[in-house]
Structure 1
Amino acid sequence: MTVRLLTRPDELHARFHGQSEAQPAYVELGLKDGILLASYDAVVGQGVEAEVYHGIDRRWSIPVLTQDAANRLLDDLAPLAQRVLDGSDVVWDGNNWVGRVVTEDAEAAYDEITERCEGIEDHDGNEDLLSVWSTDSIGDLWDAEEAGVTAQSTDEELDRIEERLTEEFRDGQGLAFVVIEGLDDYLKQLRDDLAAQDD
């Protein structure tokens, strides 16, 4: 079995353009490839990938955790995941390849993974949760001068400004890491407004 740890602080967070909610996060165990990982659902809506639908990739829902918390969880679940793998098969059912948990020990380990993932407290005050803010929730935002945005700012420069402002906000809140949804669009709007004034 391979445990694929997260490499970025915000790796479990994704909110696609046009969506009001961030994508759900999960722990996944591939019964065929033996990979245990944590990620976010790349499918918008109720659909799932074929491997998930047929039980080849098994998923457990989790809150959007920080990188450190998610990696600790994966390490903690690894022995249980190995027991699930040891007692599972991917078989042809006459129509599709499907994943099946076939031994009692694998089923017990599967149930324990479910309990641990469901038992993660998803509420304010849990330091394991990634702190996600929106530009609407912050209140008074930076104006163009405070942010350092000009009509000539490139996208790369705006990326650096976004990183700096996020760090300032994070330090001001006393948090280890934050995500500010919509900050990139806000900075681009500041630039576009300045460019329009110049025209």
Structure 2
Amino acid sequence: MPENLTVDVRPVNRPDELHAWYEGQSAPQPSYIELGLQDGILLASYDAVVGPGTEPSVHHGIDRRWTIPVLTQDAANEFLTELVPMAQRVLDGSDVVWDGNNWVGRILTEDAEAAFDEITQRCEAIEDHDGNDDLLSVWSVDNIGHLWDADDAGITAQTTDEDIDEIETRLTKEFADGQDLTFVVIKGLGTYLRTLRDDLAADDD
């Protein structure tokens, strides 16, 4: 087992850091907690792989992952801190070994297995519903775009891309305040606002 390997927490640094919704996909990417058995890094992120498959280090158990809902920045950092004692127990009873074909992660002790299961239970216990203030609120402009037309948004044919960015930030904050939410992501809002601007410009031509 690795000697003196301690948990190294990597904090979440942005409100929407655990959120990614790729074009053409019907839902955001799954979020997860990850513990590296080789380096001790404990972090929260989202799965960058679309569809089946995963990174080799995850496939071989070197990096262990637990699926979680998309948490806010504060909630994710608080949760990571809570997991540190359990993650340390996992590290203390694990190793990365050569199995004859690949380097693989192994959990070797009963206490490490128990701690791994505790982390699993903690992750599964996060309530994934709209009433949970720890969850990032994610919306699609396809569902709420009707809230704003060009006049409502303050868009004209001369509105620049920089103006659009500022308008997107303002509308997102107004929507969050109206829903009594701390932080909101509205997928596609920037594209929608640019379309409104481009349609007005086309009419002028």
TM-score > 0.5, shorter chain as reference: yes
**1:68 maps to 2:74:** yes
Q: 2:43 aligns with which of 32, 37, 40?
A: 37
My pick for the range that moved more, 117-126 or 140-149, is 140-149
Displacement, 1:47?
1.0
Displacement, 1:40?
0.5
Matched residue type, 1:87: G
My pick for the range that moved more, 130-139 or 35-44, is 130-139
Displacement, 1:139?
5.9
Root-mean-square deviation (CA), in Å?
A: 1.2
What is residue 187 of structure 2 aligned with on the other side?
181
My pick for the range that moved more, 142-151 or 82-91, is 142-151
My pick for the range that moved more, 150-159 or 165-174, is 150-159
Alignment TM-score, normalising by the size of structure 1: 0.96
Q: Determine the C-alpha separation between the residues in 1 that align with 2:12 and 2:159.
A: 32
Q: How many pairs were matched up?
A: 199
Matched residue type, 1:31: L
Percent of counterpart pairs with the same letter? Answer: 74
Q: 1:111 aligns with which of 105, 112, 117?
A: 117
Q: Determine the C-alpha separation between the residues in 1 that align with 2:87 and 2:190.
A: 38
SS at match of 2:95: strand
- Indicate conservation of the 8 Å contact 1:135/1:141, yes or no: no
**1:153 maps to 2:159:** yes
Alignment TM-score, normalising by the size of structure 2: 0.93
- Indicate conservation of the 8 Å contact 2:145/2:189, yes or no: no
1:139 to 1:153, Cα distance in 2 relative to 1, 3 A: closer
Q: Determine the C-alpha separation between the residues in 2 that align with 1:19 and 1:88.
A: 36
**1:8 maps to 2:32:** no
Displacement, 1:153?
2.7
What is residue 196 of structure 2 aligned with on the other side?
190
SS at match of 2:57: helix
Aligned 1:40-59 pairs, distance under 5 A: 40-59=46-65
Return structure 1 stretches of 4+ with deviation > 6 angstroms.
none
Displacement, 1:38?
0.5
Q: 2:86 aligns with which of 68, 80, 90?
A: 80
My pick for the range that moved more, 166-175 or 151-160, is 151-160
- Indicate conservation of the 8 Å contact 1:122/1:129, yes or no: yes
SS at match of 2:169: helix
Matched residue type, 2:114: A
| Structure 2 residue runs without a partner (length 5+) | 1-6
SS at match of 2:66: strand
Displacement, 1:111?
0.6
| 1:95-122: CA deviation from partner (whole Å, max 9, x where unpaired) | 1111111111111100100010011111
- Indicate conservation of the 8 Å contact 2:145/2:192, yes or no: no
Matched residue type, 2:191: D
- Indicate conservation of the 8 Å contact 1:31/1:88, yes or no: yes
Displacement, 1:88?
0.8
Q: Determine the C-alpha separation between the residues in 2 that align with 1:152 and 1:54.
A: 54
Q: 1:123 aligns with which of 125, 129, 133?
A: 129
SS at match of 2:74: helix
